[in-house]
Chains A and B, each alone.
Chain A
């Protein structure tokens, strides 16, 4: 409203009190890096004890423990985690791929989410991979890894040694490239070419129809 009264002026802020004079600082050496809480985690200690050379790094994020291990030791670590009486990681929640282009020497990563049905605890393993480097398949340890590794292959192009049928799982078989890589164009490749393929696939009966998806198994 036009005739609205202006609010009264705010009372003057009280003057800040004079700061106490700062104590003269001695030239102290930089503090040591804070201790890594992951390195006190019982699971970390246990893995480190069993595989002293395989553990690269431990990280505690909220309640999730991440242990980065060397690729060559992955299968042994996994078998240990599944079979050890105190661990019993008998359930593989997921296998995820990841791409860190800034990390030049090993831009790719696989993350394995483990859970123990029975002991109710979880753990995450990470493996760093160079571009084009293959990871060992854990399908022999947890059969659940089958489709998860196919997904990581489909979207990141990470290949897994020893996988029973490493082929695309989400994208069509004719797809080119791996879309979750950071250098992949967001809106995808040439749309006209894809629509051409769609028309061909809809018209022909070679690679489409009942049972087509199961071919090659």
Chain B
């Protein structure tokens, strides 16, 4: 860095590719609208004015997987819904992340039943698990910030 210091005009900054890509990715995480149960109410509250997830760049809920970066699985995943989740995840463009919100999406929660998938991680890879039944908006925002930390440590050009 020091060699390049003060070699350019004022409007030029030097940085790393990783920093720039990660900064861009973590600052505009567009979630996919995926409310499945009561957790969705907390997710909506997180997006609304009191908690305002948009402060972290994640307030633009998209109604299509093609424009989404992160899928917030908010609620009970039934076997009937599971193929839709899997397909929508497959339709999201890379890079993509998944937040599993609440006890049901994490493990099946209070439904060890014939109709409920015991954890969404059995069909899609999960980056962040948020505990709670349902988690409060603060918890969702904390989970989102944890995901941003994870994205910050990604390597774009190196393995």
Which A residues form the contact surface with B (CB < 8 A)?
170-172, 175, 179, 184-189, 191, 194-195, 198-199, 201-203, 208
CB distance from A212 to the nearest CB of B (A): 10
In-complex Cβ contact of A198 among B82, B90, B114, B115 (8 A):
B82
Chain B 67-92 interface mask (CB, 8 Å, partner A; 1/0)? 00000000000011011101100100
The answer on a CB contact under 8 Å between B86 and A187 is no
Q: Which of B49-106 contact A (CB under 8 A)?
A: 79-80, 82-84, 86-87, 90
B3 within 8 A of A: no
List B residues 84-138 near A (Cβ within 8 Å): 84, 86-87, 90, 112-115, 117-118, 122-123
Taking the closest CB of chain B, its distance from the CB of A188, in whole angstroms, is 3
Query: For the complex, what is the distance from the CA of A194 to the CA of B21, rounded to whole Å?
Result: 39
Question: In the complex, which residues of chain B have a beta carbon less than 8 angstroms from the beta carbon of A208?
Answer: 83-84, 87
A202 partner residues in chain B, CB cutoff 8 A: 82-84, 86-87, 90, 123
Q: Is the interface of A mostly helix, strand, loop or mixed?
A: loop
A172 to chain B, nearest CB (A): 5
Nearest residue (CB) in A for B122 is A195
The interface residues of chain B, by DSSP majority, are classed as loop
How many A-B contacts if CB must be within 8 Å? Answer: 48
What's the least CB distance linking B81 to chain A, in Å?
10
Whether A184 and B79, one on each chain, are in contact in the complex, defined by CB atoms closer than 8 angstroms, is: no
Evaluate contact between A179 and B115: CB separation under 8 angstroms.
Answer: yes
Of all chain B residues, the one with the shortest Cβ separation from A191 is B118
Asked whether, in the complex, the Cβ of B123 is within 8 Å of the Cβ of A188, the reply is no
Closest 8 CB pairs of A and B: A188-B114, A202-B86, A201-B83, A202-B87, A202-B83, A198-B82, A179-B114, A172-B80
Number of interface residues of B (CB under 8 A): 16
**CA distance in complex: A164, B4 (Å):** 78
What is the minimal beta-carbon distance from A56 to any residue of chain B, in angstroms? 33
Do A184 and B83 touch (CB < 8 A)?
no
With A171-B80, A208-B87 known as contacts, the answer to whether A199 contacts B113 (CB < 8 A) is no
The chain B residue sitting closest to A173, CB to CB, is B80
Residue of A nearest to B114 (CB): A188
Residue from B86, B87, B115, B117 within 8 A of A171 (CB atoms): B115
Question: What is the bound-complex CA distance between A195 and B86, given in angstroms?
Answer: 11
Can you give 21 A-B contacts (C-beta < 8 A)?
Answer: A170-B80, A171-B80, A175-B79, A179-B114, A179-B115, A186-B113, A187-B112, A187-B114, A188-B114, A194-B79, A198-B86, A198-B117, A198-B123, A199-B86, A199-B123, A201-B83, A202-B83, A202-B84, A202-B87, A208-B83, A208-B84
Given contacts A186-B114, A187-B114, A188-B115, contact A195 B123 (CB under 8 A): yes
Look across to chain A and name the residue whose beta carbon is closest to the beta carbon of B90. Answer: A202
Most A-side CB within 10 Å, residue of B80, B114, B123: B114
B66 to chain A, nearest CB (A): 16
User: With the chains together, A212 CA to B112 CA distance in Å?
Assistant: 28
Cα A189 to Cα B83 in complex, Å, equals 18
Task: Tell me the complex Cα distance, A187–B80, Å.
Answer: 15
